[in-house]
Structure 1
Amino acid sequence: MELYLVTDEAACLGRDLFWVVEEAVKGGVTMVQLREKSLDTRAFVERAKRLKELLKPYQVPLIINDRVDVVLASDADGVHIGQSDMPYETVRALLPPGKIIGLSAETPEHVVEAEQWDLAYLALSPLYATPSKTDHAEPWGLTGLHWVRANSRHPLVVIGGLNQQNTTEAIENGANGIAVISAICSAESPRTAAAQLKNRIQAGQAKTV
């Protein structure tokens, strides 16, 4: 969960998604979320199965965005749900024991509500403002991250605007991991980009010990 890659085929700039993911894992990615907004269900399941097989030798979990049916059909390791997706209680009832559930939190109210649930991680979205996504809530910023760390029992992943320059400070200020899309998918070398981000994470961890 330290370095969490969220896939985006468009961000891969015409390169093969599976190649990008494997290069990223070789560079240090520790969890992969498959996010597909445009594929039909059959194609989504096939892509998930193929990605699960690719990740298996590396022992990297595969998380599916939003779609519990795809998790079940592909035997992926878990699901990530947003605030407008299926309710936590329903997801927990549908999934077999041991499956990962991660949840997005965009407001303090979401963080407080999540305390009652058994989550693998809470994803704070967005940590920083991103020019490519303007329909999200107010960015948490480092002050918000501090507040969440003090008020949540869950491991925290931050997403939104994370890069080589600000990853270390995010870890120093309470994040357990970072989630990125373009910082790896659009990099000239996904493997090198992942390795550099992993180094920034470790630098932040060293300062918090």
Structure 2
Amino acid sequence: MSVYGVYLVADSASTAGRPLADIVKAAVDGGIRTVQLRCKDMPAGEFADVVMECAHHTAGRAALLVNDRVDVFLAARASGADVQGVHIGQSDLPAALVRELIGPDAVLGLSAASDAQIDAANKLQLRSPGTIDYLGVGAVHATPTKRDHPEPLGHAGLARAVGLSDLPVIAIGGIDADDVAPLARSGAAGVAVVRAICAAGDPRAAATNLLNLWEGTKP
């Protein structure tokens, strides 16, 4: 499954107090087709419950990915949730091991922030094709949703990363509506947004606007 474009990272800390499932439903109603759930400080059992709840809104409509927690993904899938994969960072379990755990048909995304990390992903993909499905590359801009973000790349740096990567690149990090067109023109396979939808007064309208901006860059 390769559904990117505008990619929602639904972050439990960025919803202005609203239930995460409500944000996900609104975003999917607005046309979002890839959703990653990020609940950094949530216990595994509670996170699994959130995944199950969100899956009711994404089933058959959007790919649902779990951030970092391979155990939560496996538990949700074993419970019958329509969940498609995981996204991991450089400090999580190695990508090759995660692929073994989640199986060949699940989506696996990996964060990358440097030339060396992109090169390592390229080499892994050469040795074991199909291990990684895409790279989440950033931060494009500084962002409060990830305090340990690397030095911002900007639009030019993201375009350079696209050129270095053998895998589809999803741009991430402080992205808002003004970034969508230039990042799409850089060759990115998608743009991951957090606050641009999660913190919006009307998440559905925000999602639709971002998608229209993305689609407007296509010939």
Asked if TM exceeds 0.5, the reply is yes
Given that 1:124 and 1:140 are in contact with CA atoms closer than 8 Å, whether structure 2 keeps it comes out as no
Report whether the alignment pairs 1:89 with 2:89. Answer: no
**Aligned match of 1:162:** 175
- TM-aligned CA deviation for residue 130 of structure 1: 2.7
- TM-aligned CA deviation for residue 62 of structure 1: 0.8
**TM-score of the aligned structures, taking structure 2 as reference length:** 0.88
Given that 1:156 and 1:176 are in contact with CA atoms closer than 8 Å, whether structure 2 keeps it comes out as yes
Q: 1:196 aligns with which of 209, 213, 218?
A: 209
SS in 2 for 1:128: coil
Given that 1:64 and 1:78 are in contact with CA atoms closer than 8 Å, whether structure 2 keeps it comes out as yes
For residues 139-191 of structure 1, give each alpha carbon's deviation from its aligned partner in whole angstroms, at most 9, with x where no partner exists.
12222222222221211100112111121011011211111111001101001
**Structure 1 stretches (4+) deviating beyond 6 angstroms?**
none
**Aligned match of 1:66:** 68
For residues 65-123 of structure 1, give each alpha carbon's deviation from its aligned partner in whole angstroms, at most 9, with x where no partner exists.
11111111111211101011111111011112200000001101011111123322111
**TM-score of the aligned structures, taking structure 1 as reference length:** 0.92
Q: 1:18 aligns with which of 3, 16, 21?
A: 21
Report whether the alignment pairs 1:113 with 2:120. Answer: yes
**Aligned match of 2:46:** 43
**Aligned match of 1:5:** 8
Structure 2: runs of 5 or more not aligned: 78-82
Given that 2:28 and 2:57 are in contact with CA atoms closer than 8 Å, whether structure 1 keeps it comes out as no
**Aligned match of 2:80:** none
Distance 2:146 2:69 in 1: 22
- TM-aligned CA deviation for residue 132 of structure 1: 5.4
Given that 1:145 and 1:174 are in contact with CA atoms closer than 8 Å, whether structure 2 keeps it comes out as no
The within-5 A match list for 1:102-181 is 102-115=109-122, 116-117=124-125, 118=130, 119-130=132-143, 133-181=146-194
**CA 1:191–1:102: 2 relative to 1, 3 Å:** same
Distance 1:26 1:170 in 2: 24
Given that 2:21 and 2:50 are in contact with CA atoms closer than 8 Å, whether structure 1 keeps it comes out as no
**CA 1:40–1:30: 2 relative to 1, 3 Å:** same
Given that 1:62 and 1:77 are in contact with CA atoms closer than 8 Å, whether structure 2 keeps it comes out as yes
Structure 1: runs of 5 or more not aligned: none
State the percentage of identical aligned residues.
Answer: 39
Report whether the alignment pairs 1:34 with 2:47. Answer: no
SS in 1 for 2:192: strand
**Aligned match of 2:56:** 53
